[in-house]
Structure 1
């Protein structure tokens, strides 16, 4: 058995401690008048979901767009906490009187599958890419 790197313990054959932290990148932009996009890149689970929810709420109250887009096309994993963040973002948008639509990314099963399985495609209108969403 070989020793682990300094500061890391071996955990059998499955990995090492500490596990790397998952992170997301959030970018807000306004591609058209009255439309604000919150772009999410990375894996979305517990900590990241709270960051998305908070940023969406802040965006809705600061910019007060007529329409908001939650762009998840750069998401590689959308866990249950991430789905909850989408639901909470939808509710916050509704309370603010803002239409919220989503972007899955073309063929992005990491987002499309959980959105369909949970029925979120019945609550929010989803588009395969940002250009299609902006043209709608």
Structure 2
């Protein structure tokens, strides 16, 4: 019998734009579940749409709900970092332990701007 509490969380990705109290125009993207080949394109589409047509000052990726990040997820995150750098957008990643582990193994923690 499967323990429902041990079940992997359902995949979801949402984005919203807000201005912080210090006036920074920020797009917040919240991801829950596993980033795998099936949904990495959706993640890419969400962050791409979130920074267009009006470019924010900051793109914040909240990955605290991510339980797995495969190579397709890493690729999407690196593409986000590259796009932000090219557009002059500050990128911040708030990562779960699985994302931190992948970033450490791939030596991409600095590239992905993972917050402590």
TM-score, structure 2 as length reference: 0.80
Q: Point out the more displaced range, 84-93 or 27-36.
A: 27-36
User: Could you tell me whether the CA contact under 8 Å between 1:23 and 1:48 is conserved in 2?
Assistant: no
**Pairing 1:82–2:70 present:** no
Cα distance in 2 for partners of 1:76, 1:61 equals 28
- Gap regions ≥5 residues in structure 1: 1-21, 129-136
**Pairing 1:126–2:114 present:** yes
**Pairing 1:53–2:44 present:** yes
User: Could you tell me whether the CA contact under 8 Å between 2:11 and 2:32 is conserved in 1?
Assistant: yes
Cα distance in 2 for partners of 1:63, 1:77 equals 31
User: Highest relative contact order (Cα 8 Å, sep 6+), 1 or 2?
Assistant: 2
User: Could you tell me whether the CA contact under 8 Å between 1:60 and 1:96 is conserved in 2?
Assistant: no
Larger relative helix fraction: 1
Deviations 1:27-81 (A, max 9, x none): 1123524111111011111121111111111111134110111111100111111
Matched position secondary structure for 2:44: helix
- Gap regions ≥5 residues in structure 2: 1-8
Q: How do residues 1-136 of structure 1 correspond to structure 2 at under 5 angstroms?
A: 24-31=11-18, 32=20, 33-105=24-96, 108=97, 110-128=98-116
Write out the 4+ residue segments of structure 1 that deviate beyond 4 Å after TM superposition.
Answer: none
Q: Point out the more displaced range, 73-82 or 115-124.
A: 115-124
Cα distance in 2 for partners of 1:97, 1:120 equals 19
CA RMSD of aligned residues (A): 1.8
The structure whose Rg is larger is 1
